[in-house]
Amino acid sequence: MLIATPQSMHFPDSLPLQSGTSIRAYDLSFETYGTLNAGKSNAVLICHALNASHHVAGVYVDDTGKVKNKSEGWWDTMIGPGKPVDTDHFFVIGVNNLGSCFGSTGPMQLNPDTNKIYGADFPVVTVQDWVDAQARLLDALGIQTLAAVMGGSLGGMQALSWTLQYPSRVRHAVVVASAPNLTAENIAFNEVARRAIVTDPDFHGGHYARHGVLPKRGLRIARMIGHITYLSDDVMNEKFGRQLQAPTLVALRTALPPEGALRLQSGKAGPAAPVGEEGGRLPERTSNPSPFKFSTQEVEFEIESYLRYQGDKFSEYFDANTYLLITRALDYFDPASAFGGDLSAALAKATAKFLLVSFTTDWRFSPVRSREIVKALLDNQCDLSYAEIDAPHGHDAFLLEDPRYLGVVRSYFQSKVAL
């Protein structure tokens, strides 16, 4: 069993940001798994997506050595001893990005310039900025060159950006369920989520901390929208369909994992959730022969219960300003833009070898988007492997335990990345 220990590193020098501003001093939370070899050549950096963190693999234990409940890292299926990214061979680093809310400097922390909580004053950060900060962490760890940089979704964008910002420091890039930029529809979903947060009366222009409140309504809506886009229509129909909420509430609420939050075996339902918020309000079924309650506000269908539960849970732990920042980083990422939209020209700098993986039912970052990257890399005669996995789970597939998917990554690390 892999025991994870979060660490933190302070960076006293200011970091120039793509926006033209800078962040004066900052901390990065990170975890490492496995052992850095003498040549410092076996490091693998894992970049996280929207709501994940530096806690990539392993579990946490309490003071008595007991494993904490549900403390598995968000990519524990992928990373660990004997796993596809094998920590018996590789030194794996998970890092929480700047602006996040899991330990690294972000909007919930004190602005050293004002001694007030940053809130909305936290500077806008981009994928490029994150990669720059990650590079400084590697400097501090004495690692010049990564055996691989790896990530899914927004994490894949960071992996791709590494190969352009620091080409000589990356031997391999593993880009999973990602895209060379967001489509208009992707941006649209981000924008609706942001508007839900920003127009929540408890948002207070991003300075809710000063008012002692949290814009939970907006976060709930944002998360519900996110969940719809993480899942495929197929898997939603399979898991929920038009099934009505069971009166006994032995709910399917946790039947599917939120992106980056839960580990779950592909295709298996998770543990039943405890009776939740709506539980207390549920009326007894009456003699009405219809299965419906005929209510616009109560839960009728399981999918509603699932989404409400996920929204409620998320609003308890995620920071609203972080949500805005991270969705904006997604919107802004577009390496081709500086080359008139020519992705092949943009990727000409990359010297890494690549593994790209996409999932057939992912409509958020569909295989078509991965193929755009593949084509641009091929235009540059890059060494690459590409796997399009026929998986039913939509975008969330990149976090699930699909044997073909994990097999592809295992085989790539064994045959190509291994020293």
Query: Which residues here bind a second copy, judged by CB under 8 A?
Result: 18-21, 120, 123-124, 181-185, 187-189, 191-192, 194-196, 198-201, 206, 217, 220-221, 224-225, 227-228, 231, 233, 236-237, 239-242, 288, 290-292, 294-297, 300-301, 303-304, 307-308, 311, 321, 324-325, 327-328, 331-332, 334, 337
153 carries an active-site annotation:
yes
For the bound state, the minimum distance from the C-beta of residue 277 to a second copy, rounded and expressed in Å, comes to 12
Nearer to a second copy, 205 or 407 (CB): 205
Nearer to a second copy, 163 or 315 (CB): 315
Residue 165: left if φ>0, alpha if ψ -120 to 50, beta else—which one?
alpha
* Catalytically annotated residue among 55, 89, 172, 395: 395
For the bound state, the minimum distance from the C-beta of residue 161 to a second copy, rounded and expressed in Å, comes to 16
Nearer to a second copy, 149 or 235 (CB): 235
379 carries an active-site annotation:
no
Nearer to a second copy, 42 or 358 (CB): 358
Nearer to a second copy, 187 or 378 (CB): 187
Nearer to a second copy, 204 or 416 (CB): 204
Nearer to a second copy, 8 or 243 (CB): 243
For the bound state, the minimum distance from the C-beta of residue 135 to a second copy, rounded and expressed in Å, comes to 21
d(CA 347, CA 164): 7
Q: Are 232 and 392 in contact (CB under 8 A)?
A: yes
d(CA 208, CA 224): 21
For the bound state, the minimum distance from the C-beta of residue 137 to a second copy, rounded and expressed in Å, comes to 23
* Catalytically annotated residue among 29, 53, 100, 153: 153
Which amino acid, residue 347? L
For the bound state, the minimum distance from the C-beta of residue 276 to a second copy, rounded and expressed in Å, comes to 15
For the bound state, the minimum distance from the C-beta of residue 323 to a second copy, rounded and expressed in Å, comes to 9
For the bound state, the minimum distance from the C-beta of residue 164 to a second copy, rounded and expressed in Å, comes to 17
* Catalytically annotated residue among 86, 319, 362, 402: 362
List, in order, residues 6 or more apart from 187 with CB less than 8 Å away. Answer: 331
Would you please indicate which residues are annotated as catalytic (active-site) residues?
153, 362, 395
